[in-house]
Amino acid sequence: MVTRVKRRPPVQQDALEQSDLPPVLQRVYANRGVSDPAELEMSIQHIIPPEQLLGIDKAAELLFHKISEQETIIIVGDYDADGATSTALAMRGLQGVGAADVHYFVPNRFEFGYGLTPEIVDLCSDLAPGLIITVDNGISSIEGIRHARNLGIDVLVTDHHLPGDELPDATVIVNPNQPEDDFPSKSLAGVGVMFYVLIALRSFMRKEQWFVQHNAQEPNFAELLDLVALGTVADVVPLDRNNRILVEQGLRRIRAGHCCPGIRALLSVAGCDYQRVIAADLAFYVGPRINAAGRLQDMSAGIECLLTTDEDIVSEIAESLHSLNAERREIENRMREEAIKGLNSLLEDQSISAQQHANGICIYQAEWHQGVIGILAARIKEKYYRPTIAFADSDDGELKGSARSIPGVHIRDVLDTVAAKHPGLISKFGGHAMAAGLSLPKSHYDQFTRAFDQVLSEWVSPQDLHAEILSDGELKQDELDLATARVLRSSGPWGQGFPAPVFDGEFSVLDYRVVGEHHLKLVLQPRDGDKTVDAIAFNYANYDWNNRAAVVHAAYQLDVNHFRGIESPQLLIQHLEVRGTH
């Protein structure tokens, strides 16, 4: 894979330059499209008003009447971290406004698949619900919702996935991506959509004098923002300003210790201090442990971790999820090794086009674990920088595929194009720009791989298939210090669509050693200075150079290393290239 480091062109923002922000932050924010310091205000009152979401008033009224009539409400979630947080949020929020009979059900991915299917509706009907709420799913559940309505069950869809050509016949739909919805942010995660519904419900109940009549205290839904932050970051949705506010507010609550015990316990088993947590920690430590439940067993364990208030019980659940995540890693590593070995063999045999000419990658082995193919696709995509789909056998005789894409290639639209050109080839599909899922008959696999690559050839150019790291420029020697590292760390939240600052420059390598078998720990010195700085390059243990006296060009993040109570600046190497010797 070819990786290029490209410096962002200078952007002048007069309002930023006239502010009291440090120059490095002025540069970073300007590069991310921020033109006014006011855009950096992260107070919760600056979120987009709920009434701008299509259908949200009807959703609030529907929920109010179901709660007033004390009807049974069932929340049907998804089996990833966004689905788990959405489910926990809905449970806690609805109970907080007085819903007396609320349950949740999350399909086991190996038995029922994704979304509200007719089979799941039948299971829910045993409790005689008056309302089913889908969270982080439902927009593609045409048959399941039709079945529910035929049984006399109302359905409220709260979702953020892109809809297909047909919308389900739900009682109410709240989804910023549905047609005719002018909500300014299309990037809400499922948990964000449900949070907005709860806010609208509380407002409606306030107007109806519900809290006064029942002598009840209005719930403070800000107490649920830790769940919103976790689900938003874990689902890797773009962090536009609205999402950054939601995430930042949740992070502040976590750092202050005002979060659900489950999040604190998951951070603890991962060895992460909750008082120093940033968005990346939710993505790397908490999200995968929640997801491990849905990937290998049942997401109910992840949801219970987020709902349980007993510290002893929640610690046991967190330890169990930690073990599941370790098992998931072992399975993933084995599958990745098998996939890479197979791809390398194919390339050597010239059974497929040379790597630089292949537009996408499809991989499949019968024994692969269905719950881990999404992560496998992501890892293969990262290694080869190609849109990648990993397939595994499902219990219904079809193949389940999980797709991951690269910037500029909308993977759901690619699948839509394949389906349009080859009717009947794909059984079903859905997803986002960067991730999608699909099913197809096993006998269609070879035809699908050819069709997938052909469609990609119409979407991408050779340049699109080279990885690119965008740099915010070079840091001066006196900026490679702890103060700057602290400022950069605390000035997010950083994430998808609002990436953490990356810089680049040339350094002399004064020393290096392998740590943790796979990583390089280095001591670097800027070429034009005499200061030294520690750095770590993950998965660079096999990097090939002849001696320690190397000059390297590095793209890096400047971060704070916290070790045994002592903080120091550290470079997190994103890319390393030898330029010579010194």
Is the Cβ–Cβ distance between 185 and 176 less than 8 Å?
A: yes
The per-residue pLDDT for range 230-282, each reduced to its tens digit, is 999 999 999 999 999 999 999 999 999 999 999 999 999 999 999 999 999 99
Q: Which residue has the higher pLDDT, 305 or 565?
A: 305
pLDDT at position 563 is: 85
Is the Cβ–Cβ distance between 391 and 454 less than 8 Å?
A: no
Ranges 112-116, 401-405, 546-550, most confident? 401-405
Q: Which residue has the higher pLDDT, 455 or 430?
A: 455
Closest CA to 328 of 370, 281, 280: 370
Query: pTM, whole model, 2 decimals?
Result: 0.90
What is the arithmetic mean of pLDDT over 424-439?
89
* SS3 of residue 3 by DSSP: strand
Model confidence at 348: pLDDT above 60: no
* SS3 of residue 195 by DSSP: helix
Helix 287-296 vs helix 81-96: crossing angle, to nearest 10: 100
Model confidence at 13: pLDDT above 80: yes
* SS3 of residue 34 by DSSP: coil
How are beta strands 131-135 and 533-537 bridged, if at all?
Answer: unpaired
- Determine the Cα–Cα distance for residues 343 and 194; give it in Å rounded to an integer: 42
Reported as a pLDDT band with limits 50, 70 and 90, residue 352 is very low
Amino acid in position 204: F
- DSSP of 87-118: HHHHHHHHHHTT-SSEEEE---TTTT-SS--H
Token representation of residue 112: 């029922």
- Determine the Cα–Cα distance for residues 72 and 177; give it in Å rounded to an integer: 28
Domains within the chain, CATH numbers bracketed: 3-11+469-581 (2.40.50.460), 45-321 (3.90.1640.30), 355-465 (3.10.310.30)
Residue 579, C-beta contacts closer than 8 angstroms, at least 6 positions apart: 506, 551, 552, 553
Alpha helical stretches, state H, 460-500: 482-490
pLDDT at position 351 is: 42
* SS3 of residue 167 by DSSP: coil
Model confidence at 51: pLDDT above 70: yes
% of the chain at pLDDT higher than 70? 96
pLDDT at position 430 is: 83
Reported as a pLDDT band with limits 50, 70 and 90, residue 68 is very high
Q: What angle do CA 352, 355, 356 make, to 5 degrees?
A: 125
pLDDT at position 344 is: 73
Q: State yes or no: cis peptide before 569, omega within 30 of 0.
A: no
The per-residue pLDDT for range 315-347, each reduced to its tens digit, is 999 999 999 999 998 988 888 888 888 777 655
Model confidence at 349: pLDDT above 70: no
- Determine the Cα–Cα distance for residues 375 and 385; give it in Å rounded to an integer: 14
- Determine the Cα–Cα distance for residues 360 and 387; give it in Å rounded to an integer: 5
